[in-house]
Amino acid sequence: GGIITQTPKFLIGQEGQKLTLKCQQNFNHDTMYWYRQDSGKGLRLIYYSITENDLQKGDLSEGYDASREKKSSFSLTVTSAQKNEMAVFLCASSIGGPVFFGKGTRLTVV
């Protein structure tokens, strides 16, 4: 079986700061995803990528950049952290069938 590793697990940033979240998968999956989950709410798609160097915008891409440097890794950048922002960012991967998730990065902006 494979695994999706997200780093860091916890991220504390300051207002206006640029923050980068990383995701690695060893499933050899083509498609990778970044979702945001706010407390008590469902998941919203930020970016996804169907192959290396590909990027597709989700419903929540404004304020974020992403990079698919290689097949196994997908990074997400918060371009300017918003004060009091708190959310969990979830990375996932798929090869067209079931989607597999990492454990998330919990972001707090002070």
Partner 1 sequence: GQQVQQSPASLVLQEGENAELQCNFSTSLNSMQWFYQRPGGSLVSLFYNPSGTKHSGRLTSTTVIKERRSSLHISSSQTTDSGTYLCALALNTGNYKYVFGAGTRLKVIA
Q: Which residues bind to partner 1, rule: CB under 8 A?
A: 31, 33, 35, 40-45, 48, 50, 56, 58-59, 90, 92, 94, 96-101, 103-104
Least Cβ distance, residue 68 to partner 1 (angstroms)? 13
Residue number, 58 or 85, with CB nearest to partner 1? 58
* Contact (Cβ atoms closer than 8 angstroms) between residue 23 and residue 73: yes
Please name which of 38, 40, 57, 44 lies closest in space to residue 107, comparing C-alpha atoms: 38
Residue number, 18 or 57, with CB nearest to partner 1? 57
Provide the 3-class DSSP secondary structure of residue 33.
Answer: strand
Residue number, 30 or 80, with CB nearest to partner 1? 30
Q: Cα–Cα distance between 25 and 101 in angstroms, integer?
A: 10
